[in-house]
Each structure stands twice: as structure tokens, then as C-alpha cells.
Amino acid sequence: MKSASTYRAVQAVSKGKLELTEKPLVDPPAGHVRIRVEACGVCHSDSATVEGILPIAWPRVPGHEAVGRIEVIGSGVEGWKVGQRVGVGFLGGSCGYCDYCRDGDLVNCTNQGYTGVQQDGGYAEMMIAKASGLIAVPDDLSSVDAAPLLCAGLKYARRMGFEVVAIDRGGGDRAELSKKLGAHHYIDSSSTDVAKALQALGGAQMVLATASGGKAVAAALGGLRRGGVVISLGATDEPIELSAFDLLFRQLGVDGALTGTSKAGDATLRFSAMSEVAAMIETMPLEKAAEAYAKMMSGKARFRMVLTMT
Ligand SMILES: [Zn+2]
Ligand SMILES: [Zn+2]
């Protein structure tokens, strides 16, 4: 039995190194809550913290796909209850007073910390989170199922009524897995001209580029129909090469998205519960976080890795 004044956490201490530690329990400051974490997804973006890709002051607890129950509510917090199950995603909560917040653009708040990067995240039994960033978790969605949905949506496109094309390198089991995840079509980019294949299907209205690479984004442009847009989700500093002609004559768009508002997070989880869309997950206990992280990074994890705390 652990003592009540400390909790277990796994923190990044140096490049590539995660270690289990005990941290002293603290009360949430004003505007924040303390959450007893039940599950936390292990995401490729955690490498920003563990490998120091973003500027990090180690030690830092990674994890921006955390789900748990509110244990203590800080002063000035309204609208949330002790015992309520909540999620904490990458965006740590908007400030409410910057230019962007006042204009209703909460995602682009300039005073918003990144969970697991600028403040400790969910690879822990406890975490402190800003109330404005909390996401409500529906009762009929388990914590392990909800966790990866705070960041990665896998099967939504088909349930939302789109004709879905998955593009990946390799055939066989990848094609099979894509179909399981809801794709109607599969394009093997290692053996097929992606742009031609997409055009043969009528051209894509939207391409979500999850791969980290400017070339993959550029390659997708050729597969868009007129007025189509490619949204880059993979974190990379590789430049995206494109022709002004594409923008002019085909009215193509290139955009990026970090994540949505906390209210969009509520809607995502409700949609998942109502349409019974869940990510395919593999769970591991918190103390095996380093192993779960290594498995995810190696590309050998077929499913989303999720840490459990109980
Ligand atoms: Zn993530
Ligand atoms: Zn703000």
C-alpha cells in the first residue's frame, strides 16, 4: 500500500529515459482540479517530451490522453463535481482573457500550456489540470476506451458517412487492418501512385495526413479534387513543397490542426459512446510505461497502448 501523501508517476528524466518515481501529493491551485488518473494513452507525440523534441525542462511526466476522476477542486472552479470522470488532452486549458480567447478561438489561446510538455501529464496516479481544459467523459465509455480518443480518432470517418480511403506503405495485413478500422478502399503508397489512385476514385475532398513528412503531404495534393484540402496532423519541420498553380487553378488548401476545443472533446466522446466506436487498444500497467512507450515507438504496437493505474 502506498502512503496517502505521495503518488506514483513515470517521468522522463533525460533523452529517451523514463523512470518510475514517487511524487508528493499537492492541492490544485486556483482554477485547477486534481484528478485521480485511471488510464492514459501512450501517443507518438509523447516523444516530444521523452526525446526532448520540444523544449523540455526534465523531469517531466508525459501523457496527454489522460482519463480519471476529479478528487479535489481548486478555488474558483465552477461546473465540475468531485468524483466526475474527466479527460485531459494535449491543450491544457484556455486562459479566457487573451485576444484569441476573447474572440472565441480557444484552441489558439496564447496562454495555454501543453499537457505532458509544459506541465505534468497522465503517466501518473494523480495529475493537476486546468478546469477550462477538462473534457466530460460519458458514463457508458470506459476510461481505457476514452483515453486514446482524446487525441486519436480512428474509425470516425466512416461512421460520419464519408467514403474512406486509407493510404499506407505496404500491402497484406495493413490493407486488412485499414478495412477493419473502417476504410472502404486501401492504397499501398509503396507500389501505387497515390494521386492517380485517389483521382481514379473521383478525387479526395479532404486528406488527413497523419504521417510525419512534408513529402507525404505534398503527394496527397495531387489526389485532391478541386477545392479539396489536405490537413497536416503529423508533427514535422520538413517543408511542404507545393505549386502555386495548384492553389490558383484547383483552389486547393493546405491546413494544419493541433486538436479541438474541450467542448469538441466532449462531443467526440459522446459520439464514440453513441455510435460504439472505440479504438483498438492494448493496456499495460503504469509501472510498465517505458515498455509501452518503446513498443509504440518501435512501430510494433498494432493497437493504441493505454496505461492503467489500478
Ligand atoms: Zn496523443
Ligand atoms: Zn487565451
Could you tell me the residue ranges of all domains in the chain?
Answer: 6-151+259-308, 156-256
CB under 8 Å to 72, separation ≥6 — which residues? 27, 28, 33, 34, 82
Homologous superfamily of the 156-256 domain (CATH):
NAD(P)-binding Rossmann-like Domain (3.40.50.720)
CATH code linked to domain 6-151+259-308: 3.90.180.10
Three cell numbers at 133? 481544459
φ/ψ of 281, rounded to 5, equals -125, 160
Instruction: Retrieve residue 216's grid coordinates.
Output: 507525404
DSSP secondary structure letter of residue 207: E
Give 44 Cα–ligand 1 centroid separation in angstroms: 7
Give the Å distance between the CA of 298 and the centre of ligand 1: 16
Tens digit of each residue's pLDDT, the chain (310 residues) = 445 799 999 999 999 999 999 999 999 999 999 999 999 999 989 999 999 988 999 999 999 999 999 999 999 999 999 999 999 999 999 999 999 999 999 999 999 999 999 999 999 999 999 999 999 999 999 999 999 998 876 788 888 899 999 998 888 888 998 998 889 999 999 999 999 999 999 999 999 988 767 888 888 889 999 999 999 887 777 888 888 998 899 999 999 888 889 999 999 999 999 998 888 899 999 999 999 999 999 988 888 999 999 8
Find the 102 Cα to ligand 2 centroid distance in Å. Answer: 7
pLDDT, position 1: 46
Distance 80 CA to ligand 2 centre (A): 20
Cell 492553389: give the residue.
Answer: 247
Check residue 96 and give left, alpha or beta (phi > 0: left; psi -120 to 50: alpha). Answer: left
Ligand (nearest to CA of 92): 2
264 CA → ligand 2 middle, Å: 17
Q: How far is the CA of 288 from the centre of ligand 1 (A)?
A: 18
What pLDDT score does 215 carry? 84
Q: How far is the CA of 306 from the centre of ligand 2 (A)?
A: 30
